[in-house]
Structures are given as structure tokens and as C-alpha cells.
Amino acid sequence: MRLVDNQPALLLGEDVRTLVVADLHLGFEEELRGKGIRVPLQSHRLVDELCALGRGTGARRLVVVGDFKHNVTGPSTLETELIPRQLRRMKEVFEDIVIIPGNHDGRLEDVVKDFASVAPARGLVLEEEVGLTHGHVKPDESLLKTRFLVTGHLHPVLRIGSGESGLRVRVWLRMRGERRKLYRALYGGGWSGPAGKITLLIMPSFNNALQGRSITDLAMSRLVRGPILNSGAFNLEAADVISLDGTVLGSLAGLRELV
């Protein structure tokens, strides 16, 4: 598993390369239009970028780690028309498309069933060492046996400065935690799997038009954090903050003192 250079994406596998992204939020423009904010259609651009990334990496399988679409309760009018058309374009590049449902993916099957498979929301394991789940529900117990637990959901960004001159930079968060403590918090009882630590990797959103959540101002509710971070198995303050080019910028606590 490796981070794709300068992209909010992971690349897995050798024989069958798998591209992993999170939080596309296709159709998010409709919500903005409902608020009176007129923006050009952005979802076409997002799929352009995704397909170009697939061609550039040679990936034949795409896994989306939640929030493939934007409307929470079900496909919006725009999504019902937009998503099948964009999935046809993706299928020109990716032989296999797998979507792990996120909290925005209500009735997702209604619009993707002819083009993509929908995995359980509790996640799936790839290559025996990488567990993938969106992060808003408890992961399946099998994911706790992997080396890496990969989630989306939080849209982490590093904000530098304030006001219109401030910068918003998408980042990865990486931290290590105890498997036993994670299992006990999520499921109770004793852990019979492998001992030691597991690495949690929180992905930046693929959709750069989303506002994101500032990692140095984490005033988010327990509901937003999700059960994995709420377990107490991971010290968020000690998390490595990693830029899209792979540079480790420091710990979250350390960066809070600087920005």
C-alpha cells in the first residue's frame, strides 16, 4: 500500500492494482443551488480527475471509501441523472468499481446497481492487511486483524492563516492504537486476534470543493468523529499530519501551536 504522489488516493496491489479514494460527494452542487449559490457542475470535473488518476496509475479496480454521493436520505434529482452517466465514464477506465457506503449514501444501490458493487458499510479487507470502512459505523471485526485501518468521513484539512487570505490544505492523518483496546471499546469482551498495534489512516476527501474540517480546531461532536476515534484507542493529538506530497508535517498537537 502506498500514498499516490500529490493525490488524495491510495494504491494497492501489484497484479490487479486498486485505486482507493474517499468522499467524492457527487451531486453536492444541488445543495448549494438550493441555498441560492450558483456554481458550475463540478462532478464532471471530479470524474475527469479520477479517470486520469486511474489511467496514470494503471489501476483496474476502484474502491470508494464512502460518501460516493452527497444527498443523505436518497438520490437527489440531480444525482439520479448524473451518477449513472458518470459511472459509465468510470467503467471505461476501471474494470471493477466497489463502493463502501458512507453516511451520505442513502439508497445508493438505486443509482449504481448497473455499474458498481456495494460492499457492507462495516467495510472490507483487501490483501489481508488493509481494512477499509468509511468511519461512521463500527468496522467489521475482521478489519481489526489488519495492519492498516483506512477511513474517510472527516475530510481533514490544515488551515493556515485566516480570512480570505488563509489557505486550506488537504492532509492525511496517521496514528497507531492498541487492537485490544479498540475491540473492547467497540464490542466488549476479550480480543482473540493478533496482539500489538494497528495503524489508522484517515484519508483526505477526493472532492477539493468541500470545506473540510480543520485538524487544529477539532470541535466536532462524538457523532462526527465516529466510533473508531471515539473508542479511545487512538491519540488524535499525537497523529502524524501528512501532506498530499507525503511530507510528515508534524503531530496534530505540534501544528496547533504553530498555526
Least confident of 52-61, 96-105, 184-193: 184-193
pLDDT of residue 223: 65
Q: What is the rounded distance in angstroms from the CA atom of residue 69 to the CA atom of residue 43?
A: 10
The proportion of the chain whose per-residue pLDDT surpasses 90, expressed as a percent, equals 71
pLDDT of residue 124: 97
Question: CATH number for the domain including 155?
Answer: 3.60.21
249 phi and psi, to 5 degrees?
-80, -20
Tell me the pairing of strands 167-178 and 240-243: antiparallel
Average pLDDT over residues 176-201: 94
pLDDT of residue 90: 98
Identify the domain containing residue 34 by its residue range.
2-256
Average pLDDT over residues 111-128: 95
Q: What is the rounded distance in angstroms from the CA atom of residue 149 to the CA atom of residue 100?
A: 14
pLDDT band at 217; cut points 50, 70, 90: confident
Average pLDDT over residues 70-86: 91
Using CB atoms within 10 Å of the CB of residue 169, give its burial: 0 to 12 exposed, 13 to 18 middle, 19+ buried: middle
Q: How many domains does the chain have?
A: 1
Q: What is the rounded distance in angstroms from the CA atom of residue 170 to the CA atom of residue 20?
A: 16
